[in-house]
């Protein structure tokens, strides 16, 4: 069976650099950093004291007061980002309404979260220990489970097609987008709402990652310098939060309803390192195979690629192995590809990262602007590709790729093309 074409018709974002896509894009292009000292709890006792918090989110009018009290903040982030994506795609608020022109049974939702309702887990555990089991909210379980972002979006708009959640740590949103791409391409849906959401800036989350020695500790007094992908002096990632949500649509379906098309999703690659719980496999072999799979899926050659939004977490092993993966697959062309990690400005959104970064990769196709990797001041001789240091540049982009990887050895790559 011939696979159907899939396009992106809507974007939505809630992030530490802006609570809509235009503000997020303007921030990353101009190198404005959203990382600061943590305010959601007192970080004084923690080795890492900085993070990328969502600020001044206007959820009223999008999420009801009742739902806001019942769900974890990662679900609220997802609902607000979905509302923007829906409006960007020119879609009605409820697909069940007569005259909507949308068959709700052909619309699915796959919005993942790497950790789920950690903030609620922490607060409810404290309640249990201080006041006993009868103090626990009856909404605790539905609030914390990672599929609830998909579930609440579906309930909100009436999407009755494929509905589930993907969980693969920091590759979550990329795999959610890939699964949604496959659902449309294979004819199981005409439209998919997809991406990722995360809200893990909590005492428990920071305690765990600090114990792993995974996060930056050297720049607590200069938060804006803490995330420095591919730089020689990088010392760990910086956690951030939010949601990145996209509307994927079958090409003819989008054309028929006169939708604006941002870009076309043409390939998806997913592989496993089968190596280590937290470290990427040496040489980035797993990531390289995911790139290869996405290109093969898209019918593209390595030399067709103009831009890669790298995972680029600002950890020593990730940035090294990712560089090795790109060099291994792309060969001499690797030095001609514009690469950047927007985590220098945004920090690491964990399960939301692939949502943010697929939107950003698509925006490079639309705008012809490559966002920079900020805080790149001291080159690492082992990371020697073009990471678009510190300043955006203009370049025509016909093919862009986004790549993310997660603990457990999960690799995901999305390939996009100009329509």
SS3 289: helix
Contact 236, 213 (CB under 8 A): yes
Q: Could you tell me which residues are beta bridge partners of residue 232?
A: none
Check if 348 is active-site. Answer: yes
Pick the closest to residue 18 from 2, 6, 29, 3 (CA basis).
29
- Tokens encoding 6: 């899939």
Give the whole-angstrom CA distance, residue 213 versus residue 373: 23
Which one-letter DSSP state was computed for residue 63?
B
Check if 218 is active-site. Answer: no
Check if 311 is active-site. Answer: yes
Beta strands (DSSP E) in 86-145 are: 107-112
- b/e per residue, 131-162, with b = 16+ CB within 10 A? eeeeeeeeebebbbbbbbbbbbbbebbbbbbb
* Active-site option among 311, 321, 383, 410: 311
Pick the closest to residue 257 from 410, 106, 73, 41 (CA basis).
106
Helix axis angle for 118-131 and 203-212, nearest 10°, is 110
Contact 267, 294 (CB under 8 A): yes
Sign of CA dihedral 28, 32, 37, 41: negative
Contact 402, 174 (CB under 8 A): yes
Residue 312: its H or E element: none
Give the whole-angstrom CA distance, residue 116 versus residue 134: 23
* Active-site option among 170, 210, 321, 383: 170
The angle formed by the CA atoms of residues 414, 103 and 111, to the nearest 5 degrees, is: 35
Give the whole-angstrom CA distance, residue 83 versus residue 13: 9
* Active-site option among 175, 253, 262, 348: 348
Give the whole-angstrom CA distance, residue 92 versus residue 217: 46
- Catalytic sites, residue numbers: 170, 311, 348
């Amino acid at each position: 069976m011939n696979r159907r074409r899939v396009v992106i018709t809507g974007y939505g974002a809630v992030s530490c650099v802006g609570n809509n896509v235009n503000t997020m894009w303007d921030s990353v292009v101009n190198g404005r950093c959203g990382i600061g000292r943590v305010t959601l709890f007192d970080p004084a006792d923690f080795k890492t004291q900085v993070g990328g918090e969502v600020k001044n989110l206007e959820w009223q009018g999008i999420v009801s007061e009742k739902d806001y009290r019942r769900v974890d903040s990662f679900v609220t982030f997802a609902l607000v980002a979905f509302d923007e994506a829906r409006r960007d795609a020119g879609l009605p608020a409820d697909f069940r309404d007569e005259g909507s022109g949308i068959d709700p049974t052909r619309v699915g939702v796959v919005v993942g979260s790497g950790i789920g309702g950690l903030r609620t887990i922490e607060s409810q555990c404290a309640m249990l220990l201080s006041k006993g089991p009868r103090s626990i909210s009856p909404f605790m379980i539905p609030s914390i489970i990672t599929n609830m972002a998909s579930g609440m979006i579906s309930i909100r708009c009436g999407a009755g097609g494929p509905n589930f959640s993907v969980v693969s740590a920091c590759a979550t949103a990329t795999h959610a987008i890939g699964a949604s791409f496959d659902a449309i391409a294979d004819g199981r849906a005409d439209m998919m709402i997809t991406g990722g959401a995360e809200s893990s800036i909590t005492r428990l989350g920071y305690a765990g990652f600090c114990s792993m020695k995974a996060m930056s500790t050297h720049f607590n007094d200069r938060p804006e310098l803490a995330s420095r992908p591919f730089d020689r002096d990088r010392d760990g990632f910086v956690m951030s939060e939010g949601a990145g949500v996209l509307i994927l649509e079958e090409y003819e379906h989008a054309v028929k309803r006169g939708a604006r098309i941002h870009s076309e999703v043409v390939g998806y690659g997913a592989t496993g390192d089968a190596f280590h719980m937290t470290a990427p496999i040496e040489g980035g072999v797993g990531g390289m195979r995911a790139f290869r799979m996405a290109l093969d899926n898209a019918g593209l050659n390595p030399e067709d690629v103009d831009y890669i939004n790298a995972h680029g977490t600002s950890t020593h092993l990730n940035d090294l192995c990712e560089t090795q993966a790109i060099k291994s697959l792309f060969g001499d062309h690797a030095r001609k590809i514009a690469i950047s990690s927007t985590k220098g400005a945004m920090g690491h959104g964990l399960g939301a990262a692939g949502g943010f970064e697929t939107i950003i990769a698509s925006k490079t196709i639309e705008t012809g602007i490559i966002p920079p990797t900020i805080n790149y001041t001291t080159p690492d001789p082992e990371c020697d590709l073009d990471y678009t240091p510190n300043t955006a540049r203009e370049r025509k982009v016909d093919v862009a790729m986004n790549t993310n990887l997660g603990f457990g050895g999960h690799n995901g790559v999305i390939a996009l093309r100009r329509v």
